[in-house]
Chain A
Amino acid sequence: MTGIIIDKISMVFTLPDGGDVHALNKVSLNIEPGQIVSVLGPSGCGKTTLLNILAGFLSPTDGEVRHNNQTVTGPGAERGMVFQQGALFEWLTVNDNIQFGPKMAGKPKAESVAKCEELLNIVGLAGFGEKPVYQLSGGMQQRVALARCLANDPDVILMDEPLGALDALTREKMQGLILKLWKETGKTIILITHSVEEALFLGERLIVMAPRPGRIVEDFSLPFPRQALTTNARDVKASPEFVAKREEVLSMIWEMEEEIMGGGIEVRGLSDA
C-alpha cells in the first residue's frame, strides 16, 4: 500500500523533574497519495511533533510511520518540508536556494536551471532569481520556500504553519497558491495550521487534534479545496456550508482551549474519540 501510514505512534517526553508528557498517544492515520490534509488543534496537542515525526526529525517512542511501505527512520528528499519562516539560506540567491536540492543530489546544472525557471514562473517570482533572499518580503520568501521544496520533486510536502508569519492579505493569496500547486503537481500535502479557516480551505481532509495526551479527535472530509479550484476563494469562504463548518470546528477548538486554561467547561465529544 502506498501513501503514508501512521501506525499507532506515541511520543513521550520525560521532563527534568521526572514527569512524563504524552505529546502523542497511539495516533493512527492513513494518508492516500495526492491528498491534501490539514491538521488543526490547540497549542500543545502534538501536531508539530506529529509533523516532525513524519519528516523524520524525531523518532516516536512507540509505533512507526511508513511511507510507500518504507519505515521512516530519518529525513529524506522524498518528504519535503516547508517551515514557518527563516529556513531559507540567506547567503544564497533565490535561484541557488531553489536549486539547492538538485545540486546536493548532483543533478546536471542545465536541468535544474530549467526547472528553477519554470518554478519561479509558477510561484509568481519570475525575474527575481538573482535577488538575495533577504531582500524579499515574507510572502515572497515563502514562495521561494515552496519552489525550493518542489524543485526536489518530493513525494510528500509537509508544511509547518507555512503561512503563520504572513499578514492576512498575503496569507489569502498564498492559500490560493498552495491549492494551485496541489492541483498542478498532484503531490500529497500535509499542512499544520492554527487558523480554522485556513484548515477548512486547504484540507480535503481535516484532522482535529486534542491535547493531554495528544490525539486525533476528528477526521472530516471536506469539499472546499476542490470547490476553490473552480470557484472564487472568497465565495467558497462565504458560503453557508463553509461558515457553518467553521463555527463548528471553532467552538470545538475553543472548548479544548478553555479546558486547558482550567475554564472548567465540559468538553463534548472528546471522551469517546
Chain B
Amino acid sequence: MREQKTPSSLAIWLGLADNSFTRQKTVKFGDESAVSSGRFYSILIVILLLSAWIITSVFGLIKPFYWPTIGGTGDRIIKLLSEGFRNVPLWEHVGISVYRVFAGVLSGALIGIPLGFSMGLSSVARGLFDPIVEFMRPIPPLALIPLIILWFGIDETAKIALLFLASLFIMTIAARSGVSSVRISKVHAAYSLGASKLQILRHVILPNALPEIFTGLRTSMGVCWGTVVAAELVAADKGVGSMIMIAKNFLQTDTVVIGIIIIGVIGYIIEMFMRFLERVFIPWKGKG
C-alpha cells in the first residue's frame, strides 16, 4: 500500500491541501469540484491590501485628494455617524435609498407579475404587451432619467417611477417565464383531479412560478439598487448616491470612499436577504 500522509484539517480549511475526496481523484484539471476554496490566498490578499493602505497612510505616499488615509477615514466614519452628512443623519441617507429601492421593486412586482401571467396565459395579452416589453427590455433604466425628470420633476415620485420602470419589465418577464415553465403534466394532473381554471391558476401555476418570480425579485433588487444610486447622483439631496456626489463637490474623498463601501455592503445584504427569503419560502426550488 502506498504511504498517504493525512493533511491537517487546518490545511484543508485553508485550501492548501486537498480534502479526502479530491485526494483520490487523478483528474483534477477541468473538474471544478476539485478546485479548493483557496482560503489562504483570500486571507493573504485582504491582509496585503490593508497593509498597503496602512503603509501609504503612515508614510503619506498618496495625496488624500486621490485616496484617503486610513486614520482620516476612521475619523470621518465617526463624524458621519455622530453628526450625519449635511445635517442629515447617515442612517437617513441609507434608509431613503433602501426605501426607494423597495418601493420601486414592490410596485414593479405588483404590476409586472399579473402582466407576465396574462402574457403567459392569453394570446391577446401576449400580442398586446409583447412589443412593449421587448422594446423596453434592452433600454437601461438610466436612459429614462431625462424623460422621467421632464414628466415628474425631481421629487420622490420621479425616483420611484424610474425604479418602478426598472423592475416592471424584469418582473413581467420573470412571471411570464414562470408560467411557461409549468410542466404540462402538472396542469393535466390538476384538471384530471377536477380543478377549475381559477384553481389551476391559484394552486398550480402560481406556486410553480414562484421560483422564477423570486429570481426576478432578486435581479430587480440588484438593478434597482444600481439605478437608485445613479439616479441620486443626478438629482437628489438625500440618499447614498447624492451623499457621495455632494462629497465629491467638496473634495471629501474619504466620504466618497465610505459611501462606495456602504453601497457595496447594502447591496450584499439585500442579496443575502433575498436568498434567505428564497430558502424559507420556496424550499422546493429546482426539485420538481
Contacts and interface: CB of A to CB of B under 8 A. Distances in A.
B153 to A, nearest CB: 44
A91 B207 contact: yes
B227 interface: no
Contacts of A75: 188, 191-192
Contact of A87 (B189, B195, B199, B283): B189
B210 A86 contact: no
A83 B203 contact: no
A148 B282 CA distance: 22
A57 B190 CA distance: 12
Interface residues of A, number: 29
Contact of B284 (A57, A80, A134): A134
Contacts, number: 75
A101 interface: yes
B287 A90 contact: yes
Given A104-B195, A152-B194, A91 B186 contact: no
Contacts of A213: none
Chain B: interface secondary structure? helix
Given A90-B288, A91-B208, A104-B203, A55 B188 contact: yes
B140 to A, nearest CB: 35
A56 B191 CA distance: 10
B99 to A, nearest CB: 31
A242 interface: no
A138 B220 CA distance: 36
Main secondary structure of the interface of A (DSSP, over half): loop
Contact of A83 (B188, B196, B199): B188
Residue in A74, A86, A100, A148 with the greatest tally of chain B CB atoms within 10 Å? A100
B8 interface: no
A128 B1 CA distance: 46
A77 B190 CA distance: 9
Nearest to A55: B192
Given A55-B188, A57-B188, A104-B203, A77 B284 contact: no
Give 6 closest A-B pairs by Cβ, nearest first.
A77-B194, A134-B287, A101-B193, A75-B191, A87-B185, A91-B207
Given A75-B191, A87-B186, 15 more contacts: A55-B192, A56-B191, A74-B191, A79-B192, A81-B189, A84-B185, A86-B186, A87-B189, A88-B186, A90-B287, A90-B288, A91-B284, A104-B203, A132-B283, A149-B192
